[in-house]
Each structure stands twice: as C-alpha cells, then as structure tokens.
Chain A
Amino acid sequence: EVQLVESGGDLVQPGGPLRLSCAASGFKFSNYWMNWVRQVPGKGLEWVANINQDGSEKHYVDSVKGRFTISRNNAKNSLYLQMSNLRVEDTAVYYCARPLRTTVITPGDYWGQGTLVTVSS
C-alpha cells in the first residue's frame, strides 16, 4: 500500500527555519518525481516545489524561491522541504504528493495527510 507521511509541522516565529519530512512507502520512491503542495486553511491549493528522481532538477513557486529548498534521500525513501526566513503567509498545511506515473511530474493520486506549519509571533 502506498503511503506518504509528512512530519515536522510546528509553530514557528517569522524569520525562523523549519524542516518538513515526508516518509514514503509501498512504491519505488526513487522512480518518481515528488511534489510539495500547501493549503492555507479554508483556501485553495498552491503548488510549492518539486524534484526529479535523482534530485538533479528542482522547481519552485516564485514566492518561496531562495527561501525553501526541496531535497530527497532515495536510500531513506524520504522527501524534505527546508524552509527558512518563514513569513506569516507561509502558514498552511503542507502536503507531499506523488505523480500518477513515473513519467509524470505533477502531483497525482497519492497525497499525505498533511502537516500544519504556523508562522506567528
């Protein structure tokens, strides 16, 4: 069974750092692009970043470029999002998501349950 389990969400002060993790199981993690998507409670979905199979290609939404870094450890079947210089507007539930197929980049059929990041003083 495919599972994605996010962790690391917390209450953090503006300007602070935070690292999110996503533990994957039930599929060959190293064969898939992976995505982070966030959602402000009560609002819509916003794609944050994605990373290719070997970590050599990464893409970010403009609002997090230079502040967030996506990475992965295929030996540990894990995806990460290192967030720095956090802003109040980064407050959201963060999901990791796997594409439908190994040849697809975008989020697809498997999502984690999400982890809540709250940025507040």
Chain B
Amino acid sequence: SYVLTQAPSVSVAPGKTARITCGGNNIGSKSVYWYQQKPGQAPVVVVHDDSDRPSGIPERFSGSNSGNTATLTISGVEAGDEADYYCQVWDSNSDHVVFGGGTKLTVL
C-alpha cells in the first residue's frame, strides 16, 4: 500500500518560514492536499491540487510537489499557525485515500 511520510514535528520562530515535507514514492505524479488541524477542530484544507489555495487561506501558505516529495511552505509564520498538518493523496492503484502521519508545527 502507498505510504506518505511526514516528520513528527517542526519548530519555527515567528516571522520565519516553515517547510513541512511529505514523502511518497513518485508523489509528484499525484495530486496532494494539505490540511491544517487545530486541537478540538476538524481539519481545514490549506492547499489542494499540489499548490492551489482555497478561498480564505492566506497567501502565506503555498505548496509544491515534485519527484518523491511534496512541500507545504508557510511564510511569515504566526502564532495562530501552530497546528498539526497532514498531507493526503488518492492512490489510484489501490483506490485508497492516504494520509501522512502528520506534522506538529510549533511556533517558538
């Protein structure tokens, strides 16, 4: 089965840039979604189709996807960005939705 690998945690100072990666075999050929989840809340899509932002999501959030790694980049990190972030793809080989294990972003 298809596996997505994320680092368990990333820490960044306010105002700096956070990069959260998602590794998967040839993930560049798949469409990647990124979700933000804060405690006690449902996930929210921050990036879809590798690099598109839903309306209402700040431009500080951007995505890229190539080869075996997809990346969510958060520029000018704010305290309110502290959350868990999950990547997700549809694996057409297994007809399964696959989530990464999640990365906890800590704003120092």
Which A residues are closer than 8 A to B by beta carbons?
A: 35, 37, 44-47, 50, 59, 61-62, 95, 100, 105-109, 111-114
Contact = CB atoms under 8 A, between A and B. Distances in A.
The 8 A-B pairs of least Cβ separation, nearest first, read: A47-B97, A111-B42, A44-B102, A45-B99, A59-B95, A106-B90, A109-B45, A106-B97
Interface residues of B, number: 23
Interface centre among B1, B35, B89, B100 (most CB of A within 10 A): B35
Contacts of B90: 105-106
Nearest to A60: B96
B43 A111 contact: yes
Interface in B50-104: 54, 84, 86, 88-90, 95-102
A73 to B, nearest CB: 22
Given A44-B99, A109-B54, 10 more contacts: A44-B84, A45-B35, A45-B102, A46-B99, A47-B97, A105-B97, A106-B88, A108-B33, A109-B44, A111-B43
Contacts of A108: 33, 45, 48
